[in-house]
Amino acid sequence: MTSLLPGTARDIHPPRTAGAPIGEPTLETWQDAPHNRWAFAHVSELVPTAPIAHRRTHRPLGAIGAAALAEAMPGIEARLEQSYTDALVVVRRGEVVAEYYRAGIAADTPHLLMSVSKSICGLTVGTLVDEGLVELDRRIDAYVPALACSAYGDATVQQVLDMTVDVDYDEDYRNPASHVQAQDRVAGWRPRLAGDPADTYAFLASLRGGGRHGERFKYCSAGTDVLAWVVENVTGSRYADAVSHRLWSRLGCEHDASITIDPGGFGFANGGISCTARDLARVGELMLGEGEIGGERVVSAEWVRRTRDGGDPEAATGTVFQRVHPGGAYSNQWWITGSARGDYYAVGIHGQFIWVDPSTGTVVAKFSSWPEPVTERWNRLHAELFREICDAFDR
């Protein structure tokens, strides 16, 4: 195991290629193995990004126990290597108790979050709900009139947060004809094709559906970008700046995060945030503290409790998620396991996680570069791994 100590104008950073390895990734290949092992920690060299600023003073997470992870769980290094781990940080009651970084990754290395970014958006929306600026039972078109004719116009904010919107959207990451790949192209993550919408705003407005919202869970990355558009219209600021002001600058982070930017300047809220593993763990600490961290209230305890206890398990019946977590649900852009432990998590494809275990007071943040976007096997193995880690440090 390698343990390493970490070392207001908003600018858009263009991509650069300096420092990329021989046979460097391209827009067509960077998300695929083996290129993703390098690319997920160098997103700003491939796609334009904007900063999500932190405060210049940060809250220390405490000392690291040398080789603590290997001591608590003999053989853990092999398991981490076999699961394509790039970084892992374990925080218990506000202190880092163990961390791991593969070669080429350090405590100050940013890494792409993929759909863990969705959970950050959910928290940002929560701050607006707390202040009465967003009402959960209001329709989306009340906040974004441009979406009135889209699948999302007559859906409520809560339905979008819980992904129970009836929308025609194919989330097949490997299918070039899928909506999710089209959205990637619009966001600048893949080479554009003739006829693609000009930007994410136009893409979201083009989506259609059947209007039967609230009946079943349908995972759809576009919904998070709809929420980000709500955030922009309500706050009058770019999404990256709103996340900085309302969340990132209040967590005690050590570093700025960043988010990829499309041609219209829209931050790719559903998957485009990058940050360090230690700073990501702070998001889990915020949830574990019921909306408070380092003595500062960021989001209400009610919002965290509603997230942790919310969601409709019936809506998710028959999903791959429930095969791993029977009785689980999706709530406010977080995954709720429904287990007796009360654990819940944020997850992104290729193995990005925030795992929160209230029963042991433990948060685990993990970056990975799985060869596959997502499989039931990988998710099951990681749920087992995280629970073992939480128990190992509760002895």
Q: Which residues are catalytic?
A: 115
Q: Does residue 185 contact residue 193 with C-beta atoms inside 8 Å?
A: yes
- Compute the distance between CA of residue 347 and CA of residue 334 in angstroms, rounded to an integer: 8
DSSP alpha helix (H) spans, 211-369: 222-235, 239-246, 277-288, 301-309, 320-324
Burial of 342 (0-12, 13-18, 19+ CB in 10 A): middle
Cα distance between the two ends of the chain? 21
Residue with tokens 């993929």: 114
- Compute the distance between CA of residue 347 and CA of residue 378 in angstroms, rounded to an integer: 12
Please name which of 334, 310, 395 lies closest in space to residue 360, comparing C-alpha atoms: 395
Q: Which DSSP helix (H) or strand (E) runs through 99?
A: strand 95-101
Q: Any residues with CB less than 8 A from the CB of 216 and at least 6 apart, and which?
A: 164, 315
Handedness of CA 21, 24, 30, 35 (dihedral sign): negative
DSSP alpha helix (H) spans, 269-346: 277-288, 301-309, 320-324
* 249 CB neighbour count, 10 Å cutoff: 18
CB contact burial 78-97 (16+ within 10 A = b; e otherwise)? eebeebbbbbbbbbbebebb
222-235 helix and 179-187 helix, angle to the nearest 10 degrees:
40
Q: Does residue 322 contact residue 328 with C-beta atoms inside 8 Å?
A: yes
